[in-house]
Amino acid sequence: MDGATLLDTATVDRRHLLPRHPVHPGDRCARPPRVAPPHRRPRDRRQPRHRPLGSTGESAYLSETEWDAVCETTLGAVAGRVPTVVGVAHYSTEGTVRRARVAARHGATAIMVLPQVYWKLTDAELARHFAAVADASDLPVMLYNNPGTSGVDLPPETVVALARQIPNLTMVKESSGDATRFRAIRELSDGALSVYNGSNPLALEAFRAGAVGWCTAAPCLAPRWCLELYAAATDGDQERADAVLAELLPFLRFIVGYGLPRAIKAGLGIRGRTVGRPRPPLLPLPEAQVAELRRMLERLDTHPIPDQAEARAAGQPA
């Protein structure tokens, strides 16, 4: 899949994606959740792709029936109009394989695999797990490294070694917060692996270090700013990219710092889109932080996005 913004929703291998991350309803579902249809805009390299059933989608807290319902409903709503990368992580290899097959059956473009573990896995166990999931379908695989949620850190050397054993492992979502890893993975793999950034505060630094896309839930609440940052970064307009990031960075740090499911669900409520409470054991965002998030979103809504002239003027010494 190319790079782009994946709205914590999805990715495939082409290099210009901004993925979107869907959220699921907070209460347990007796019927499949409603999923809004995707934007029907002409495809271009900056159109967001979708990546459902990841961290923001609270996939770790869903029953298998709920997981299947979200997967089927999301892919049915997207209907192939944009690439969709489905997160299939489960604590067991058997569960992850089952989810990979469900995603493939319903039309996923690719699958994303996080090593979600209880016992610390050996290198041989990790290799067997990823290989079994990759063999479950012919879909491209995105390896997801997020030590903050999984407790497992896969350094660039391990990622590239896995990719050499697994031909359809073609993408990496790198969320460790270490900006040096984007270039390291690209160089160690001789450019064979497409590396996406999953650490929101590193959005611009990651692009400058070789990331081809940005997997983020931020566009759920601030889509214009995220797309403008992506456009400026990938067009080489460094001054404008810096100016956009300066306005967006407090918001990006906030949603990560208070937890994506809490912050994004609260933000959607502020936006008038009721999506329910976070799934227990998570609690809703406290009222003081909801008020802070409201102020941030109001500022982003009313503050003009810097254009090239403004960005250059801001960069000039007084």
* Whole-angstrom distance, CA of residue 184 vs CA of residue 114: 20
Specify whether 265 is catalytic.
no
Per-residue CA distances from 52 to 7, 23, 72, 112, 124 (Å): 8, 8, 11, 10, 29
User: Which position among 91, 118, 120, 173 bears the catalytic label?
Assistant: 173
Contacts from 166-170 at CB under 8 Å and sequence distance 24+? Answer: 166/130, 166/131, 166/134, 166/141, 168/134, 168/138, 168/139, 168/140, 168/141, 169/130, 169/134, 169/140, 169/141, 169/143, 169/193, 170/13, 170/140, 170/141, 170/142, 170/194
Q: Is 190 exposed, middle or buried (0-12, 13-18, 19+ CB in 10 A)?
A: exposed
Q: Is 21 exposed, middle or buried (0-12, 13-18, 19+ CB in 10 A)?
A: buried
* Whole-angstrom distance, CA of residue 106 vs CA of residue 98: 13
Q: Which two tokens stand for residue 179?
A: 């900006």
Question: Token pair 């319902």 is at which residue?
Answer: 69
State the sign of the Cα–Cα–Cα–Cα dihedral 66, 72, 76, 78: positive
φ, ψ for residue 157 (rounded to 5)?
-60, -40
Say if residue 83 is preceded by a cis peptide, omega within 30 of 0. no
List the beta bridge partners of residue 174: 145, 197
User: Which position among 118, 120, 144, 258 bears the catalytic label?
Assistant: 144
Other C-beta atoms lying within 10 Å of the C-beta of residue 73 = 20
* Whole-angstrom distance, CA of residue 24 vs CA of residue 276: 8
The catalytic site residues sit at 144, 173
